[in-house]
Amino acid sequence: MPVLAVIPSDPIEEYLSGGIDHLMDYYNPRRFFDKVYVLSPLEKREHEIDGLRIIPTKDKQLPSRLSDLEVDLVRAYG
């Protein structure tokens, strides 16, 4: 069960307002990963959008968060 963590360069709302409607397809083409987490210091609250779990994560929290979520691959921007 492969797990992906995405670290975006902008808040998720910016992608949505920019016209990217299907975030799961954008970050996880062909649905290769069973779970996709968005880990970002730019987010204010934990929530889910289009099957993605958005988790506010500060830089220093990242290593433990990746381990706790058993992430197989990180896709980072910026």
Tell me the pLDDT tens digit for each residue of 12-66. Answer: 999 899 998 889 999 999 999 999 999 999 999 999 999 999 999 999 999 999 9
Write down the pLDDT at residue 67.
98
Cβ pair 36, 69 in contact under 8 A = no
Write down the pLDDT at residue 74.
97
Model confidence at 78: pLDDT above 90: no
Write down the pLDDT at residue 28.
93
Which tokens sit at 78? 């910026």
Tell me the pLDDT tens digit for each residue of 38-52. Answer: 999 999 999 999 999
Beta strands in 1-78 (DSSP E): 3-7, 35-40, 47-49, 52-56, 73-76
